[in-house]
Each structure stands twice: as structure tokens, then as C-alpha cells.
Structure 1
Amino acid sequence: MIDFDALEEEIKKGKINNSYIFCGLDEELIKEGVNLVVNSVVDKSMKDLNYIRLDGLNINYDEILNACETMPFMGEKKAVVIYRAEFLKEKTDSSNSKLYKEIEKYLKDIPPYTILIMYYLFNDKRDTAKKNKKLVSLDKISKVVHFDRLKKDRYYKKVEEVFKKRGKEIKKIEARYFAEKVPNNFDIINREADKIIAYTEGKEITKKDIDKLVLKSSEDDIFDLIDLISLRKAERAIDLLDELLFKSDQHMLIITNIENHFKRLYEIKVLKNKGHNIGSIASKYKLPTFICEKLVNQSNKFSFNQLKEILDICLKTEISLKSSSNDKTMELELMLFNIFMVK
């Protein structure tokens, strides 16, 4: 398995494989990798004829076979891309399992004029290529590329390029500040950049603008944690809690943030019940509308009684953390368990 940097080096040297499996969390970065390979093998003037995209969510083996076996039109190579190839997921239904076995066999016999690229998006940041047995197996007959986080200098440079491509200048200091505030995911970065560009039309981008529009990463993590709670995904919620503690071993800060988030959801639910719209709620809390929309949607996943009971659990945990000598991590995990028991 290789990463994006290694893929770029291979492409520069003219080393092109007959097939690739791309994987990772960042679809925008994966698409960049796809374009890198496609543009290196398919003539731009023939792209409409020699570049085929297939939806991996709704695909069968015959469609893949027909796309790969057809000769390129007036060119030496053609590229076939299967995006969001769900059959590469480790646990799938019987039809996707059958398709995976057919693809695994076919990868050994792809025509020399076809470059097949398949990509699969991980569910969350705890997924890795090495944990997926299918990807490990395919790495023996294809080239598996894991699109992980970019190294700092390259990451900063690419963030600057995001703004430049949109015709907006951003100074290096502000670009780095923005890069540190947003998750290292170019799908999110593109959306956040669009909001900042729209907000700062006709003026320079400042740190104040970035602070106003971009959620802090810790707030993002808490939001994700509450989302997992609302979806009843206990194991993943525990994993994320452990990750938060690993990042910052501050149990009181985490319980306070969780408690404040649930308080905000309760207050928003009350305001919505009184007929307030998104705009008035956003104004009250001095939040950008898009953040307020997320919070309203999240508050809808809980009833008033559930939120009251959860807040009571948070308060008891906070008191326990302050007054007892018990294992603090265990206290927080027990809090999550009790929250999951709320009906």
C-alpha cells in the first residue's frame, strides 16, 4: 500500500498501474488522485470517449466488464472509474460479496489498454486500509492507495490553492490559521472556504472572519459524539470519547462541553417549539446559519424528556468527577452508557 505522495512520485516517473484501489475519508483528495491518473493516460481531447465513470452503489459485473473490455477510441488507453465502490466494504450483503469476488478474479486479466480505478470511502477516522481484509487482499494484485492526511507544509499549500482557484487571495498567516481551524478534509475545506469567500466579498480575509464562520475542532468532535449518541452507535461513541481524551487529557473540559452542547440543544428545541425560525435562533446565539441548522437538526433527534434526563446524567457525572477519586475515564464511559440507556 502507498499514500498520495508516493502515487504522485510514481505518476511523475511514468509508472502507471493497470488498476488502482483508492481509499480514505477525504473524497475531494481521492478525486484529485483519480484526476492525476486519468489525465496522465487519457488524451484531453478524447476524454469524453475514453473516460467512463460508474456508480459503485448501483453497479453489476457485466457493466464493469463491458466498460473495461471495450477498446479505447482513437487512443492507446482508456480509464474506467468506479466511484463509491461499496463492494469493497469489509462487511456487505450477498450481492456485493459476489461482485467483490468477481472483481478480485477479473483484476488479474484486465486488458492492457484499460486503467481501472475503484475508490471506497471510509465511514470514520478509525477506519484504515490495513484493517480491511478485502483491501489487504487486493493489494497483492492491484495498487492500493490510502489517502491519509497530508503533511503540514503540503497541507498548507493546498489550502492556499483552494482559495486561489476560486479567485480569492488569502495571506499565508490567515491561510495557516484557517487550515488549523478546519478538519483536514478537502470536502469540508472547500465548503468552509466558499462560506468565507462569500462572507468577505470585496475585502481581505481576517482571522476574525475565520473565527466567526469556522467551528473549533473540539466543537466538531463534541458534535460528532452527540450525533453518534443520537444514532445509538455506542461502540463508535466510546472510541471517539477515547480519542478526545487522547488529544486532551482534560476530563472536566470534555464533560462541560458535552453538558453545554446538550443544554444548547434543549434551548433550541424550546425556541423552535415557540415558533422561532433558523434566522432568529442564529441571531440569538450569534451563530452562522449553517451551524444553527445543524444544531436544530440534531435537537430534533431527542425529545424534551430525553434531553432533561441526559442533562441530569451529565450533572451527576460532573459532580462525581469533582468529588471522587474514581477512574475519571471510566466515569465518562459510564456516563455514555447511562445516556444510551435513556429512552
Structure 2
Amino acid sequence: MIQLSDFEKSLKNNNISNCYIFCGTDENLIREAINTMVNKFIDPSFKDLNYVKYDGAKVTNDIILNSCETMPFMSERKIVEIYRAKFLEDGNTKSSGEGKAMDFTELSKYITNLPPYTTLIMYYVFESERDKVSSKVKKIDGKATVVKVDKLKGASLQGKVKEIFQERGKKIDKAELSFFCSIIDNNMNVVSNEIDKLICYTEGRDITREDIINLMPPKSENDIFNLVDYLSQKNIKKSIDILNELIYKGDKPAIILYMIERQFKLLLGLRVGSDTGKGHEELAKSFKLHPFIADKMIKQSKKFTLEALRTNLKLCIQVESLIKSTSIDDKTALEMLIINTMITK
């Protein structure tokens, strides 16, 4: 069994097997890997003749065998793909559209005798990250090249996302790229859709962190306000409770941190403005806030000392740097932030 990165290296070296089985949670990544192979080894002029696809819920042993045995046309290779081949899962006794049961034992024997000009590709998609490679697939690992396609993370995810932006002719700076990858669900179909939205939203200008935030699913401003309010009261339990609730609802720690940092930045600006004699309406206009929200936040800012607001803002920046530069758990880092704000004066 190999990882996707190993498969990509073998393709770069023009190595191709007679049979591949792909499995993982991200169908988009699997499809992309298959398309890369097809584009590399099949002449586009004869693609319709030398690349055939079948639905794994309808295909039969006979269809697979006949397609694999048919000689390629004006090409050295033919690729036969069976997509969403759920018959590769354990306990699956699927029947084809013709009512014939898929004989996996027969298929596993056949793949050792595939014609040298044929590459048979099959894939199935895990329903969750907890799923493991089926015992059926494990038994034929070696007869076929099994490729485990895990979701991209860290540098691999950033590299892939940057590549997608470049393909679409859009530049994204390193800091914004890192932030985008830290808050996006690492499903490549979701990633691709969010990139398209971001490109349309920022047409003709550079992408900023605010743009990324604005296009993310709406977060509860009220929850962040309450969390910071409990920080002003030194109530660690209530603050942690809100943090846990936000994470439970699916909010990414990186975006929670950004919202807390943004709140302290606004509080500091409003507090300085208020202390220098600016009125609430003027401050609301300056910070682009609804007058009612501005009034609430000015009152909240006065629950902290100026020194505490500056210190808490620095703590947010330090935690952001810590998350980026170490392997610390994001949730643990946020809990540390909450605890550290409690001891500021």
C-alpha cells in the first residue's frame, strides 16, 4: 500500500501499474490523481476510445473483462476505470443493474492476468476518517497497487491550495494562504469552491485576511463578545465553556482566535478614542460599527485597563505565532490564551 505522494512520484518517473485501487475520504483528490494519470498516458485525440469508465454500482465481471481485453486504438495503453466501486468494501454484496452479483473472488484472480496494455483503476470512498482499508482490498494489495488517499494537511495542503490559485491566475500572499488553509475544511471539493468564491469577491485586487473571514460561514459575534466579557470578569469557566461550544458547533480554532484578536483590537481602538474625547457616534463611524454595537463595545472596553487591552492583544499574536511554529494542539493554545488573559492587569 502506498500514499498519494508515492503515486505522484511514480507517475513523474513514467511508471504505471496494471491495476490500481484508490481509497480515502476525499473523492476529489482521488479523481484528480486518476485524471493526471489519464492525461499523461492517453492521447487526447483517442481518449474516447482508450479511456472507459463504469459505475461500480452497475458494472459486472463480464463488462470489466471485455473492456480490459479489448486492444487499445492507436495507442500503447488503455485505461479502464470503475468509479465508486462499493463492492470493494467489506460486507458489500451489491448486485449490478443486470441483477448479477459481483464476483470479487473472480475479479481478484483476473487482475493478476491483465493484458500488458491495460490499466484497470477502481476506487471507493470512505464515509468517515475512521474508516480503514477493507480486508478485501488488503488481500489483493500486491496484485494491485493500493493507493491510500488521506486528506492533505500542513505544507501539503498549502502547496496544493497555492497551486489551485495559480491555475486560476490569482496570487495569494504567504500569510493569507496560511490563514486560509488553517480555517478551511481540508476537503478539496470544498477548498476549490471557496477559492472560486474568494477570487470572484476580490476581482482586481489582492486577497486580504478580512476577505477570507467575510466569505467564511457566519460566526457568532455575540459568542465572541460574551467570551471576552467573561475574560473581563476573570471568569475562566464561562470563557472555556463558550470556547468549547464554538468548537463543538464546528468553528475552527484559528478563526476563533482571529475573532478574539479582532475584538481586542476594536476594544483598544474604541477605548483610546473614548479616552481622547471622541463621541460614540464618531467612533461608530470610524470603526464601521452599528451605533448600538459601538456603544456596547465601548462599555466593554472600560472593563479592562488600557495596559490589559494591549497585553491581551499581544497574547493573541503570540498564540497565533505559537500555533504556526509548533505542533501544539490548537484548542490547548486557545485555553492557554484564556488563562493568560486572566492574569493581566
What interval of TM-score do these two structures reach, taking the shorter chain for normalisation? 0.5 to 0.7
Contact preservation (8 Å) 1:87, 1:100: yes
Give the direction of change, closer, same or farther, for the CA distance of 1:150–1:216 in structure 2 (3 Å limit): farther
| Contact 1:20 1:142 (C-alpha < 8 Å) held by counterparts | yes
Q: Give the Cα separation in 2 of the matches to 1:3 and 1:62.
A: 30
Between the aligned partners of 1:251 and 1:2, the Cα distance in structure 2 is 42
Cα distance in 1 for partners of 2:218, 2:149 equals: 24
Aligned to 1:254: 244
By how many angstroms is 1:100 displaced?
A: 2.5
Q: Which has more helix, going by share of residues?
A: 1
Partner of 1:122: 126
Does structure 2 retain, via aligned residues, the 8 Å contact 1:160–1:172? no
Q: 1:173 aligns with which of 162, 172, 175?
A: 175
How far 1:142 moved relative to its partner? Answer: 0.5
> Structure 1 residue 215: deviation in Å?
4.1
**Corresponding residue SS for 1:22:** strand
Superposed CA offset, 1:197-239 (max 9, x none): 222223322111111222499xxxxxxxxxxxxxxxxxxxxxx
SS in 2 for 1:87: helix
Which structure 2 residue ranges, 5 or more long, are not aligned?
220-239, 252-345
CA contact (8 A) 1:52 1:79 kept: yes
Distance 1:260 1:93, change over 3 A: closer
2:204 corresponding residue in structure 1: 202
Aligned to 2:114: 110
For residues 22-61 of structure 1, give each alpha carbon's deviation from its aligned partner in whole angstroms, at most 9, with x where no partner exists. 1111112112211232233222332222111111122222
156 and 256 in structure 1: CA distance in 2 versus 1, 3 angstrom threshold: closer
For residues 123 and 257 of structure 1, what CA distance do their matches in structure 2 show? 22
Cα shift readout 1:96-118 (whole Å, capped 9, x = no counterpart): 77342332122122111100111
Give the whole-Å Cα distance in 1 for the aligned partners of 2:73 and 2:250. Answer: 60
Contact 2:57/2:94 (CA < 8 Å) preserved in 1?
A: no
Q: TM-score by structure 2 length?
A: 0.60
Q: Write the distance in 1 (CA, Å) between the matches of 2:52 and 2:9.
A: 25
Asked if structure 2 preserves the Cα contact closer than 8 Å seen for 1:88 and 1:120, the reply is yes
For 1:268, the equivalent position in structure 2 comes to: none
Is the CA contact (8 Å cut-off) linking 1:181 and 1:215 kept in structure 2?
Answer: no
Residue 130 of structure 2 aligns with an amino acid whose one-letter code is: R
Q: Deviation per CA, 1:125-159: give whole Å up to 9, x if none.
A: 11122xx1112112131000001133532321210
Report the counterpart of residue 101 of structure 1 in structure 2: 105
Summarize the Cα distance change of 1:140–1:257 in structure 2 as closer, same or farther, 3 Å threshold: closer
Quote how far apart the aligned CAs of 1:21 are. Answer: 0.2
Cα pair 2:57 2:95 within 8 Å, conserved: no
Query: Structure 1's 60 and 211: CA in aligned 2 closer, same or farther, altered over 3 A?
Result: same
Q: Which has more radius of gyration?
A: 2
The residue type paired with residue 50 of structure 2 is N
Residue-pair matches, total = 227
How far the C-alpha of 1:189 sits from its partner, in A, is: 0.5
For residues 206 and 257 of structure 1, what CA distance do their matches in structure 2 show? 24
Question: Distance between the aligned counterparts of 1:114 and 1:43, measured in 2?
Answer: 14
The one-letter code of the counterpart of 1:191 is N
C-alpha spacing 1:258/1:29, structure 2 compared with 1 (3 Å) = closer
| Mapping for residues 228-267 of structure 1, pairs under 5 Å | 253-255=243-245
Maintained 8 Å contact 2:58/2:95 = no
SS of alignment partner, residue 95 of structure 2:
helix
The aligned amino acid for 2:213 is D
SS in 2 for 1:212: helix
Provide the C-alpha distance between the structure 1 equivalents of 2:157 and 2:243, rounded to a whole number of angstroms.
29
TM-score, normalised by the number of residues in structure 1: 0.60
Query: How far is the alpha carbon of 1:2 from its aligned partner?
Result: 0.3
Unaligned runs of 5+ in 1: 218-249, 262-343
Rounded to whole Å, the distance in 2 between the matches of 1:259 and 1:83 is 33
State the one-letter code of the partner of 1:59.
V
Post-superposition Cα deviations, 1:46-85, rounded to whole Å, max 9, x if no partner, equal 2222111111122222221221111100111111111111
Give distance in 1, aligned partners of 2:87 and 2:241: 40
Aligned partners of 1:113, 1:197: CA distance in 2, in Å? 42
The residue aligned with 1:230 is none
Matches of 1:10 and 1:259, distance apart in 2: 41
User: 2:10 — aligned with what?
Assistant: 10
Label 1:111 to 1:121 Cα distance change in 2 as closer, same or farther (>3 A): same
Computed over aligned residues only, the root mean square deviation of the Cα atoms, in angstroms, reads 2.6
User: Which residue identity lines up with residue 193 of structure 1 in the other structure?
Assistant: I
Distance 1:165 1:257 in 2: 33
| Farther off after superposition, 197-206 or 66-75 | 197-206
Deviation for aligned residue 1:174: 1.1
2:191 aligned to 186, 189, 192, which one? 189
SS in 2 for 1:98: coil
